Amino acid sequence: MASYDRDSGLLELEPSPVEDTPQEIKDGYFGSTDDTENPAQPKRSATLGLSQHSPVWYLSRIQKYSSYVFTAFGLAHITNTSIIPLVTRSVPESERYLLLTRPYYQGLPAEPLLVIIPLWAHVISGVALRIVRRNINAQRYGGKTSFLSSQFWPKVSGISQLGYPFVWLLVGHIFINRAIPNQFPGGQSNVNLSYVSHAFAKHPVVSYAGFTALISIGVSHITWGWAKWLGWTPDQVTAQGGERQMYKKRRWYIINGITATVTGLWMAGGFGVVGKGGLAPGYIGRLYDQMYQRIPLVGQWM
């Protein structure tokens, strides 16, 4: 639709989407009237009544809505590992609440639905989006360059730059808290807040460095990602002129302020309470030592 601006006397038209191929764009704007052999066919709905959308449309929504589910899990996780310990000021007391939510962390079908499937759907759809957009650019602007050439690849956003290391940190976190315990008697039932406290007491440098990177990068990626979904990032400011820079700066400070607040909250409970819980006693402590020795690269020194 179009709107008429009486003050300027101009007719404002809405922009046209450009996610389709150039040929489709051309046909949409300048339909051929001379092609009598191949007249234009009316658009038909896809199989089972689904509308015909491009791969970019589907992948974008998979990436977006999978983050909603994983965020819900993240809220539960910060509650168990930070907020409750801050309230109770005790690791053993906080364990009681963690046991209540253990089915959501380690049970079926909650864990696959809340963690595994959304996580990999988000990562795979993001990578697939870059490949599809690269192919669209190559088709649009021509050229037969190598697939690995950077010529047609879309620019990596700051959110994605945070996301790639976050994936590896998260995989490492899952490996230490899921895969390794399953190699021992009792499996994942041995993993609780005391498991983390033992690591901080026995291996403080590795523990503080690892959790600092995981929390700071993860919270930054998620916070900026939500700002993007909501249209609140500095680059999404629609104001023009001198106000544009003011609004962009204001949004940058707000988003980073939220990031710093959530990161500080998580570290306050994780480092200030759980991290000071001390060594686990007796058999459990020796079992934790054996688990941490299974960590690749650094385990032999632990």
Residues in CB range of 290: below 8 A, 6 or more apart: 184
Q: Spell 235-262 as b/e; 16+ CB within 10 A means b.
A: eebeeeeeeeeeebeebeeebeeebeeb
Comparison of pLDDT for 28 and 240, the residue scoring more: 240
Mean pLDDT for the chain overall: 85
- DSSP secondary structure, 162-210, as one string: HHHHHHHHHHHHHIIIIITGGGSTTGGGG-SHHHHHHHHHH-HHHHHHH
Rounded to an integer, the average pLDDT of 255-284 is: 97
Coil vs helix vs strand at 281: coil
Rounded to an integer, the average pLDDT of 144-173 is: 89
Report the pLDDT value the prediction gives residue 186, as an integer from 0 to 100.
Answer: 87
Which residues face 11 on adjacent strands?
4
pLDDT at 11 over 60: no
pLDDT digits (tens, 9 = 90+) for 109-136: 888 888 999 999 999 999 999 999 998 8
Report the pLDDT value the prediction gives residue 298, as an integer from 0 to 100.
Answer: 78
pLDDT at 40 over 60: no
pLDDT digits (tens, 9 = 90+) for 89-114: 999 999 999 888 887 777 788 888 88
Amino acid identity for residue 19 in this structure: E
pLDDT at 3 over 70: no
pLDDT at 214 over 70: yes
Question: What domains are defined for the chain?
Answer: 55-301 (1.20.1300)
Rounded to an integer, the average pLDDT of 188-200 is: 93
> Cα(226)–Cα(215) distance, rounded to whole angstroms?
16
Among 215, 210, 207, 229, CA closest to 122: 229
Strand runs labelled E in the chain: 2-5, 10-13
